Structure 1
Amino acid sequence: MSAAEHVVPAPGIPCWVNLMVGDLRAAQAFYAAVLGWEFRTSSLGSGFLVASVGGRPVAGIGERRPGLAPPSVWTPYFAVRDATVTAARLRERGATLAVGPVALGEGRAGLAADRDGAAFGFWEGPGLAWSVGAESAPTRLDLQTRDVFDAAVFYGEVFGWADEPGIDVAYRRDHVLVERDGRTALSLRGGGVQTSAEPQSRPRWLVNFAVDDVERAVATATGAGGGKPQLPASAWSPDGFSRVLQDPGGGLFTLTQRGT
């Protein structure tokens, strides 16, 4: 991996997405079939792979330690200027800090859950050249949450959206959009139920990938061992309607028609 692939990501918005799985080979086969991903080993060893399209990084997929129960969860990582400050802000606002900040390669990372239980990470330091909505990266990340405006205040305070140049927060009647330099990076919407017996209905972050043909990708996913969770067949997004899918390990993600 060349030094040219590394940049200091713009703070305040996601700089990467990871998926931890129980069966790394099965996950490779599934996402290669559905999204055309190729894989290479990372600096973290053979148990953690970097997915790419056309040589450009898309996401990370790693193998969980034995004994950790499924389902798998896609986790966004937000770029921050100071991981220690971010951790303090999380604690002050009643979030759960599960890991970190810990030194990892050339940076520092942490894992947390917001007050409603949606999991996310944060990262201080250089990372792969990757930007939500650009090239092969996910088109957007969606937060399914209990209270949209409470979540907007929480994340806005933790990541300092009001103080970061280029970040705009647009409040709609029932959702919130977060833009960076005019490009939608995040969508915060309702529907998360903390007490739901169904894990997929609880507050969580969903990663949205663009494809050339959504219905063909859905058919490929079901043929490769994926499925449609017990959610509406489509979900609202700023770009139209997205299809919600579940990989063989239980990881939820959404698909949007490319170019819409």
Structure 2
Amino acid sequence: MSAADHVVPAPGTPCWVNLMVDDLRAAQTFYAAVLAWQFRASSLGEGFLVAEAAGRPVAGIGERRPGLDPASVWTPYFAVGDATVTAARIRERGATQAVGPVALGEGRAGLAADRDGAAFGFWEGPGLAWSVGEESAPARLDLQTRDVFEAAVFYGEVFGWADEPGIDVAYRRDHVLVERDGRQVLSLRGGGVRTSAQPQSRPRWLVNFAVDDVERTVATAVAAGGGKPQLSASAWSPDGFSRTLQDPGGGLFTLTPRRT
């Protein structure tokens, strides 16, 4: 991967997705079988890999350090101009700043949870050329939350959406869409229940990976050790039904039909 493949991502928008796991080799085997990913080393050390599809970056998968939260969670990262300012905004609004900001490679990263417990990260600095809905990157990022409009205010203030040129926040009857230069980059939707005993029902970010045949990929995932699939919170689109799955390490992710 050359320097030309690195960019400074637009502030306020998703710039990457990560999964931290206990067993890195098992995660590689699972996602290679289900999504045909290949893996390469990253600049962050041997415990962190970059997943690729057709030679383009998809996501990061890393080995969790001992003593950290045992749950495996797919986590979106948002680009920011100043990680220290972002961390302060998160704390000021009653959310949890869990990790950082810490120096990583050429940038700085932080990990947080919003007021309803949905995990997200933020990144200051250059990153891989990657954009939601394009090439190998996830097709969509959806926030499943308790109160859509309260969440929109929170994330809008933390990431300064109102001050970023090209970002448009569209309030619908029951959901919120965020666009960058006319292209949807994420949505905020209801359905999250903080006290639910089912992980898939709690407030969280849904990372949607596009596949040609959802049901065939579901069957492959189950055969590879994945958990029983569920209809996702935003299960139906004009392209077909989506399914939410759990990988062998407990990480929840969504399969969505690839647009033709």
Interval containing the TM-score (normalised by the shorter chain): over 0.9
The alignment's TM-score, normalised by the length of structure 2, stands at: 0.95
Please give the residue correspondences for 1:6-155 in structure 2 after superposition, counting only pairs within 5 Å: 6-68=6-68, 70-155=70-155
The alignment's TM-score, normalised by the length of structure 1, stands at: 0.95
Query: CA contact under 8 A between 1:234 and 1:243: conserved in structure 2?
Result: no
In the other structure, the counterpart of 2:192 is 192
Q: Distance in 2 between matches of 1:206 and 1:9?
A: 21
Change (3 A) 1:83 1:72: same
1:217-257 CA-to-partner distances (Å, cap 9, x unmatched) read 1111111000225x546733665532111111111111111
User: Aligned letter for 1:21?
Assistant: V
Q: Distance in 2 between matches of 1:234 and 1:8?
A: 32
User: Aligned letter for 1:108?
Assistant: R
Q: Distance in 1 between matches of 2:20 and 2:99?
A: 15
**SS of aligned partner of 2:39:** strand
Change (3 A) 1:133 1:239: farther
Q: Is 1:235 equivalent to 2:234 in the alignment?
A: yes
Q: Shift in Å at residue 200 of structure 1? A: 2.4
Q: Distance in 2 between matches of 1:249 and 1:211?
A: 21
Q: Shift in Å at residue 44 of structure 1? A: 1.2
Q: Distance in 2 between matches of 1:131 and 1:232?
A: 25
Change (3 A) 1:6 1:145: same
Q: Distance in 2 between matches of 1:198 and 1:101?
A: 31
Change (3 A) 1:67 1:239: farther
Q: Distance in 2 between matches of 1:202 and 1:257?
A: 24
In the other structure, the counterpart of 2:159 is 159
In the other structure, the counterpart of 1:179 is 179
Q: Shift in Å at residue 66 of structure 1? A: 3.2
**SS of aligned partner of 1:154:** helix
Aligned residues, how many? 259
Q: Shift in Å at residue 179 of structure 1? A: 1.1
Q: Distance in 2 between matches of 1:167 and 1:67?
A: 38
Of residues 209-218 and 194-203 in structure 1, the stretch that sits farther from structure 2 once superposed is: 194-203
In the other structure, the counterpart of 2:251 is 251
User: Aligned letter for 2:158?
Assistant: V
Q: Distance in 1 between matches of 2:104 and 2:63?
A: 17
Q: Distance in 2 between matches of 1:254 and 1:199?
A: 13
Change (3 A) 1:41 1:151: same
Q: Shift in Å at residue 124 of structure 1? A: 0.5
5+ residue gaps, structure 1, are none
Of residues 174-183 and 124-133 in structure 1, the stretch that sits farther from structure 2 once superposed is: 174-183
User: Aligned letter for 1:236?
Assistant: A
1:82-129 CA-to-partner distances (Å, cap 9, x unmatched) read 111111111111110011111111111111110001110000100001
